[in-house]
Structures are given as structure tokens and as C-alpha cells.
Amino acid sequence: MAAPEVTHLPNLPNDVEGLRQSIRDAVVRVVGEDPRQATERDWMEALAFAIRERMVERRLLTRRQFADEDVKRVYYLSMEYLIGRMLEANLRNMGILEPARQAMADLGVNLDTILDLEDDAALGNGGLGRLAACILESLATQGYPGYGYGIRYEFGMFRQEFEPYHQVEHPDNWLRYGNPWEFPRSDRKYPIHFYGHVVEHHHPRGETRYTWENGEEVLAMAYDYPTAGYGRRNVNNLRLWAAKATRDFDLRYFNEGDYIRAVADKAESETISMVLYPNDATAIGKELRLKQEYFFVSASLQDILDRHLALGYNLDALPDKVAIQLNDTHPAIAVAELMRLLVDCHELSWDRAWDLARRTFAYTNHTLMPEALETWPVELMERVLPRHMGIIYQINHDFLEQVRHRYPGDNDRLARLSIIDEQNGRRVRMAHLAVVGSHRVNGVAALHTQLLQETLFEDFYNLWPERFVNVTNGVTPRLWMIQANPALTELLGQRIGNDWQYDLDRLRALEPYAHDADLQKAFLDVKRANKVRLANLVRERTGVELNPDVMFDVQIKRIHEYKRQLLKLLHVVDLYRRIRAGEDVAPRVVLFGGKAAPGYARAKGIIQVINEVADIVNHDPAVGDRLKCVFFPNYEVSSASIIIPAADVSEQISTAGFEASGTGNMKLALNGALTIGTLDGANIEIRDAVGEESIFIFGMTADEVVEHRRNGPNPEAILAQQPNLAAAVEMIESGFFTCDDPGTHGDLGRYLRHEDPFFVIADYAAYTEACERADTLYADRTAWAEAAILNVARMGYFSIDRTVRDYANQIWDIIPEPVAPSRTNGAA
Ligand code: GL4
């Protein structure tokens, strides 16, 4: 029994006075600066340190309680976490935003200025990474024992600049000032093995054993990021791994006297966690990527097993105490790695280990796009992870036996289901490994899950229908409403109180007031103020002046053909041509934002042409305020939280069947934007929630898209019938918008006329008709306000808290464990 002073956790005060004291102390003790000379950045760091002390207190309290209560834990394995800034979110979730604001003011520092200094933590590409960040926040907020595991990339998502029209990528050196939020845990290091070969050991009685020998080793070192729940004491943990060279590794060369080589190799092995691959919904079959995946998976599983055993459980209890969620196939190698750890290291029998693994893992699929489905050449896997290749063969062998038994003689089915694709030069299908190794597989919206069952995983669905479930995505109202939209939060508070912050369904209380003239006026005032705030930021970033009294029509997301930024752009060009021709069109600001994968030429071409069109339109005196077009540079979480509350219209116009869910669609609707959208992803569920009259649906359905493709699309025939559209395409391809180099967009014209793989041309007429419906409604301010308020009131279902509860109940089988206030450690 340890002495009380050893077990006691500090209990720092959270009032203004206590915070001021901590912050002032931190400037001296942690930052090492004289408060008289401290810069804004020094104060920011000091503030962050004052908060993190308080977070870690609650973290330890949470951990103690989880251990005492014998809870089951969920571990979320994700290559991506798109967190954004942490200072304000941590202050808010810790419940000390206002006292901290006051404490800083007392110290002569403006909190808002400080908040703006922080770089985004952009360890993700887009929706998938942002979803992971929302899930962690919700786990803590709801008191679930849930932990994130990922990679501490030295460089996150690149910074986007335009020079002047095309995208140029700059490295995101987000750690250059150090990072006050992380706790480096040099005592938490695990060896990670690559290359080498496998040796078989035959035992006269019993199973053959395998050892993995030689090869290279790097260490995975833990960095912990405490994650605070909102309105609760629970603080969970996100553990990110960084690669460190092993001493042994260095020594080999030191002994040979090659000092330079030893240091160079050290640097090389540390490249594993150096940079995030900036690809969204595309797999890039690079060896370094496979190493990243295995690196973080192996470290996480070693850590999970260590904790499980240290808590006194035996390995047979693994599925009762541990759930592991695979965020897409990126961590799917975990299935083989857990088998290796259980069988080779812990000496369990194969069958016992397999039963435990399958009951522990679950897999979320996030896309049907064929180019995103990860497959690894068998040859590469054999070289980098020879033991895992053997394990995958064994898993596949056992699995195909089962299939043979069920469908005797059906060799086509065997080939379709096999984890090894024998058609394309022998590749390991990571999605198949994930499905076979999991007890649950989920899609991220109703349509997506249905399409998974009917197409990509049809054969698996027939085999194991009970394995498939839907968990529709959600977003955290703490970031996407309370933080991003303080004015609307305040208005909601006045009208319906604040319960919705914990239970978003309570927004429904707003519904009866949707046609209340006072509320409508207040709502439109809030929207206008948010538009002024965005207009200021746009002026600062781009020099373009926006009129806050016209419709703000927003498309913010990764640049991808299937998301159809070109559809919106054709509309802009069409409007521009008609304005020049003297037609009267409803005025609008069109704002694009989003990054293109650096190797995705078509997407980069789309950015370029948008910027060129914007430049001409915005400088044409004939246009004035009737049309403005902005490409907001370097769209990221922190700018999203300024753009989203200012949007009147949310563009969710992907080709039906291609957007798994979308989550920007939820953030925008929650903030009172009306959606123009196709029947794709979660748009369908949003329509069902907000009602047909409060959303503008258009275009082909997913079934119609398939049908249209089968019939052989004919964009030229459509163009021949639609003079406005034809004129817009001609204007682009004629070089009208490219003064320097006419002809630049000839290729784009050919693409639209002859290929149009995502049916921009086919859906154009329906799209513009939907835009006109929006224009008509927008002109009626009362009707618009009512529809926008109803959007807010009816978006409760899309709270990430509901999503997380669905995972907890349908997949993880975990329950919340709110941290109890205690007398000694019960600071509010
Ligand atoms: C994505 C989907 O494209 C997106 O629709 C979905 O909302 C998101 C989270 O489930 O996952 N899949 C990939 S890959 N990137 C995404 O953003």
C-alpha cells in the first residue's frame, strides 16, 4: 500500500485566480521567460501548459476509475486524425474557457489573439480523419473508455498556396515550435520489425512454431495527447507513435567504425513517421506506406496486450475487455499482427488465437472507390513482412476451406472471395483480410452500407449477413456549433436552453418557433454577422470583397472528380455569360475550398480553372456584386469553422453512389445552410430528417447512374440540346479565362464532351434547376429563414454522440463510465 502522498493526485484550481497563477508561473518555469518580456507566443505556451496540467490530472483520475471498475475498452486504430487547433477546444471541454479568458486579460493578453497563433494539427486528409477526431471527442464526452492510436507525423497535410492559379504544396511543419499538448513517453517504446526471414521449428508433438529473424528494427515511441470530454471529468488518451532508431541498429555500424552511415541510417529509419500521405480515397502502393501501416499497428497491438495483461486479465478474456476498431483498411494488417503476437509470442494455439482475434476486431469501410481499395503485391508483403505473409496464407487457407464446404465446386466464388487476388499479379486484398478477421463490418451511411452489401462485399454478405451493420456518420456539436458558431449557440441558448449541447436531438425544441418572426430575424442577423466575419477573412486571404447581403453558396471538400466541383464551376461560367449578355440572374457568392492530392493531375487542373475563372469574374466591372467566385486557399479545420457558419447554401453534389457519407453536409446543415444535393451518401438521411421542402435534391440516383453508364453516356448529344451549358463549356475550352495561354483548357473541354466519367453534363440541367429553386426561396427571406431554422432543429440525428452510441451498442459492447466527482479531486 503506497503512502497517501504518493497516491494523491494534485487538484489544481480552475477559477480565474488559480489559472492566472498557473499561467504566470508557467511563463517562468516552463517557457523560461520573464513575464515582462513574454511574447504572445510565450503566453500561448504558458496557457497551454496550465491547461495540460489540469487535463493530465483528470486523465489519471479517469484511468484509475476505469481500472477499478474493470471496464471494457475500445481502441480506435486510425492512420489519420484531423484535429485542428487544440487550445480552444481543450479550454472549452475542460470548462475553463471563460475563466481563462479573464485570467489572460488580467495578464494583459487577449485570448482571441492567442488562439489564432496556433497551427492546426492536420494529421489527416479529409472526412475520414476528421471523423476519427470527432469520435475521440465524443468517446470522452460520453464517458466511454475509448482510446485512439495513430501516427505522430512530423509533417501533416501540406499547406496549399496558389502560384498564382495552380496549387503548390508546402510542407506543414506543425511541430516547429514544439507542442505543448503532447506527453512524450520515452518509457513506452516497442520494437517494430521489418524484412528478414521466417524460420520454422517443427515440434514432434504439437504445432509448428515460427520465428522471424534478422531484418531491421525501429522503435515506436509513444506521444500521448489527452482528450477531454465536454461537461464531464473524463479525459481519454490519443496515443501517437513516432519512429526512433534503435540503439542496436546504430551500434552495428558504430562497431564497423562507420559513424556517418550509422547516423544516416538512424535518420532513414525515422522517416517512417515523417509525413502523412496526402491522398484522399486513393491508395498509393508505396513500400513506405506499408511500413507506416505496420509500424503503428504493431506498436498499438503490443501496447494493448501489455495493458491487458498488466491489468491482470488473461488472453482468453481479450474480446471481453478489448474492442479494436479498424478505421478503413489502413490498419488491416492488424489482423495478421495480432495472430503473430498471440501465436508466436504468447504461444497460443492457432485456433484459439483466431477465435480471439475475430471477436476483438471490427472494420469500418469508408469508400467504394476502386482506386482506394488497398491491395499489396504479395512479393512486397513477403519481403517487408515475411511472417505476416505466411499468416495471411494460413488465414486464407482456413477461410477458403469454409467457403468450399458451403459452396462446393464454386471456383469463381472462391477466386472472388480469396484474400489473395490471383488476377492482377498476385496481390493481398486488405479489405478481404479485414472482413474475414472481424466480427462486424460497417458502412458509414445507409446507402453506402446497402451498396457495400450489394456490390463490393456481396459475396461476403451472402456468407455472413449478420456481420454487416450500418453506422451513419455524425459530427461533434462542440466544435461544429458551440465553437464555430458562438452567435447561433447564444441564440439557441436564449430560445431553448443548452441541453442540446449534450443531446443534439433536443434541437427539436426549436421547431415550433421556426415561423416565429422574431426568431427568424434573429437567425438571419446571426447568419449575416457570420457572413461579415467570413468576408473579412476572405478579404485578408484573397483580396476579394464579398457582399454579405447576397447568397453565400459554398462547396468545401477535397477536390475530386466524383465530388463534381466542375458542376458548380460550369454553373458559375453559365451565370457569368448570362450576366454579360444582360440577363438578370440572382446574385451569389460562390466559395470553393479544398486540396487536391499532389499527384492527381485532373484535380489540380480543376483548381487551376476555378482560380482562372474567379480572377476574370471578380475583376469584370460588368458583374459587380451579382457574382463573385472565390477559391479559399488552404482549407483546413480552423478555416472550416469560419466558413461553415456563414454558408447559406451547402453544395453536396457528388455523382450518386460515390460519396460514402459526407460529413461537411452535416456541419453545414446544422449551421442552417440549405443543401443542394444528390441522393448520395448521408444526403438521403439528411433529406429524410429535414424534409423535402427544406433541401434541394436533384439528379440521377445511384441506380440511374449505373443504368446511364450501362447505356453508354453521350455528353455530346446532351450538349447539343442545352445551349447554355454548351456555351459555358465553349467559353472554358476557348481559352477565354486563360489570357496568357489560350488553349490550356482544350483538354478539359474534350474531357467533358467525350468522357465525362462522373456525369457532370448529364446532371447539369437538373442541377441548375435545383439552384434556381434555391434562388427563388432565398428571395423570400421569411420562407428561407423558416427552412434554415428547420434544418438546424432537425439535425440532431447527425450528432457524433449518436454515431458513437451506435458503435458502442452494435459493435463494441461497451458502456459509459463517467468519472465521478470526488471530494479530493472534484474540481468542477
Ligand atoms: C471518406 C468518404 O469519402 C466520406 O464520404 C466519408 O464521410 C468519410 C468518413 O466516413 O470517409 N472515405 C475516405 S477514403 N475519405 C473520406 O473522407
Determine if ligand 1 sits within 6 Å of the CB of residue 374: no
User: Which among 80, 327, 333 has a CA at the least distance from the CA of 193?
Assistant: 333
> CB–CB of 770/678 below 8 Å?
no
Q: What percent of the chain has pLDDT over 90?
A: 93
SS3 readout for 647-711: CCEEEECCCCCCCCCCCHHHHHHHCCCEEEECCCCCHHHHHHHHCHHHCEECCCCHHHHHHHHHC
529 pLDDT above the threshold of 90: yes
Segment 122-147 mean pLDDT: 98
Coil, strand, or helix at residue 88? Answer: helix
Asked if 768 is an active-site residue, the reply is: no
- Residue 281 in contact with ligand 1 by CB distance below 6 A: yes
Cβ of 282 closer than 6 Å to ligand 1, yes or no, is: no
Nearest to 759 by CA among 707, 820, 695, 684: 707
Please say if 244 is a catalytic residue.
no
441 lines ligand 1 (CB under 6 A): no
For the question of residue 628 being annotated catalytic, the response is no
Q: Is the CB of 128 under 6 A from ligand 1?
A: yes
| CB of 127 shorter than 6 A to ligand 1 | yes
What mean pLDDT is predicted for residues 304-308?
98
Calculate how far, in angstroms, residue 86's C-alpha sits from the geometric centre of ligand 1. 23
Give the pLDDT of residue 2: 55
Share of the chain above pLDDT 70, in %: 97
pLDDT for residue 253 is more than 90: no
The question of whether 286 is a catalytic residue gets the answer no
- CA-372 nearest atom, ligand 1: 14
The CA angle 52-55-58, to the nearest 5 degrees, is 155
Residues 6+ apart with CB under 8 A from 383: 195
pLDDT averaged over every residue in the chain: 96
The more confidently predicted of residues 738 and 296 is: 296
- Please tell me the predicted confidence (pLDDT) of residue 586: 98
Residue 665 Cβ inside 6 Å of ligand 1? The answer reads no
- Residue 540 scores a pLDDT above 60: yes
Question: Which of ligand 1's atoms lies nearest the C-alpha of 131?
Answer: 9
Tell which one of 125, 128, 560 to mutate to probe ligand 1, the residue whose CB is within 8 A of the most ligand atoms: 128
Q: Is the CB of 431 under 6 A from ligand 1?
A: no
* Residue appearing with cell numbers 459452396: 407
Residue nearest to atom 11 of ligand 1 (CA): 128
| 511-535 mean pLDDT | 98
**What is the C-alpha end-to-end distance of the chain, expressed in Å?**
29
pLDDT tens-digit series, residues 602-631: 999 999 999 999 999 999 999 999 999 999
Question: What whole-number distance in Å separates Cα of residue 139 and Cα of residue 123?
Answer: 19
604 in catalytic set: no
Q: Whose CA is nearest to atom 9 of ligand 1?
A: 128
Of the pLDDT bands very low, low, confident and very high (cuts 50, 70, 90), residue 828 is very low
Q: Which residue out of 557, 568, 571, 604 is catalytically annotated?
A: 557
DSSP element (H, E) containing 720: helix 715-721
Is the CB of 367 within 6 Å of ligand 1?
A: yes
Measure 322 CA to ligand 1 centroid, in angstroms. 26
ipTM for the complex shown = 0.99
Q: Among candidates 41, 145, 50, 172, which has minimal Cα distance to 99?
A: 50
Which of 193, 564, 667, 745 does the annotation list as catalytic?
A: 667
pLDDT band at 251 (very low <50, low <70, confident <90, very high): low
C-alpha cell recorded at residue 147: 482510446
Nearest atom of ligand 1 to the alpha carbon of 364: 10
CA of 557 to the centre of ligand 1 (A): 10
- Do you know the residue count of the chain? 828
Q: Does the pLDDT value for residue 3 go beyond 80?
A: no
Ligand 1 centroid to residue 682 C-alpha, Å: 11
Output the pLDDT for position 4. 60
**Between helices 247-255 and 259-269, what is the axis angle to 10°?**
160
Packing angle between helix 601-619 and helix 565-580, nearest 10 degrees? 20
Looking at the CA of residue 473, tell me the nearest atom of ligand 1: 10
Using an 8 Å Cβ cutoff, are 267 and 253 in contact?
Answer: no
In our burial notation (b when 16+ CB lie closer than 10 A, e otherwise), range 462-493 reads ebbeebbebbbbbbbbbbbbbbbbebbbebbe
Q: Is 775 exposed, middle or buried (0-12, 13-18, 19+ CB in 10 A)?
A: middle
Are residues 26 and 49 in contact, defined by beta-carbon separation less than 8 angstroms? yes
pLDDT at 742 over 70: no
pLDDT digits (tens, 9 = 90+) for 384-437: 999 999 999 999 999 999 999 999 999 999 999 999 999 989 999 999 999 999
Name residue 12's amino acid. Answer: L
Is the link from the previous residue into 184 a cis peptide, with omega within 30 of 0?
no
Tell me if 319 CB under 6 Å of ligand 1: no
Distance between CA atoms of 130 and 10, rounded to whole angstroms? 33
pLDDT class of 206 with cuts at 50, 70, 90: confident
Q: How far apart are CA 358 and CA 332, in angstroms?
A: 12
764 vs 762: CA distance, rounded Å: 6
Is 761's C-beta closer than 6 angstroms to any atom of ligand 1? Answer: no
* Model confidence pLDDT, tens digit, residues 346-378: 999 999 999 999 999 999 999 999 999 999 999
Q: Strand order in 674-677's β-sheet?
A: 627-632, 588-593, 551-556, 649-652, 674-677, 696-697
Please give the pLDDT value at position 824. 42
Cα–ligand 1 centroid distance for 433 (angstroms): 20
Task: Please identify which of the residues 558, 560, 571, 588 carries the catalytic annotation.
Answer: 558
Given a cut of 60, whether residue 171 has pLDDT beyond it is: yes
What is the number of the ligand 1 atom nearest to the C-alpha of 660? 5
Nearest-CA residue for ligand 1 atom 12 is: 366
pLDDT for the residue numbered 363: 99
Name the least confident of 138-142, 265-269, 705-709.
265-269
Q: What average pLDDT does the segment 730-747 reach?
A: 84
506-522 residue pLDDT tens? 999 999 999 999 999 99
Nearest Cα residue to 649 out of 684, 673, 616? 673
Atom of ligand 1 nearest to the CA of 663: 7
pLDDT confidence of residue 204: 81
Q: Which domains, from first to last, does the chain contain?
A: 12-69+86-119 (no CATH), 71-84+127-369 (3.40.50.2000), 477-794 (3.40.50.2000)
Mutate to test the pocket of ligand 1, among 366, 456, 683, 803 (most ligand atoms within 8 A of CB): 366
- Tell whether the model's pLDDT for residue 821 goes beyond 90: no
Ligand 1 centroid, distance to 367 Cα (angstroms): 6
The closest residue, in CA terms, to atom 17 on ligand 1 is 127
467 pLDDT above the threshold of 90: yes
Residue 600 has pLDDT above 80, yes or no: yes
Residue 563: phi, psi to the nearest 5? -80, -15
Cα(756)–Cα(367) distance, rounded to whole angstroms? 21
366 in contact with ligand 1, CB cutoff 6 A: yes
Q: Would you state the pLDDT for residue 389?
A: 98
d(CA 767, ligand 1 centre) in Å:
23
Does 661 sit in the ligand 1 pocket, CB within 6 Å?
yes
CA distance 216 to 219: 10
Q: Sort 12 into a burial class: Cβ within 10 Å, 0-12 / 13-18 / 19+.
A: middle
Q: Are 37 and 56 in contact (CB under 8 A)?
A: no
**pLDDT band per the 50, 70, 90 thresholds, residue 268:** confident
More confident residue, 203 or 2: 203
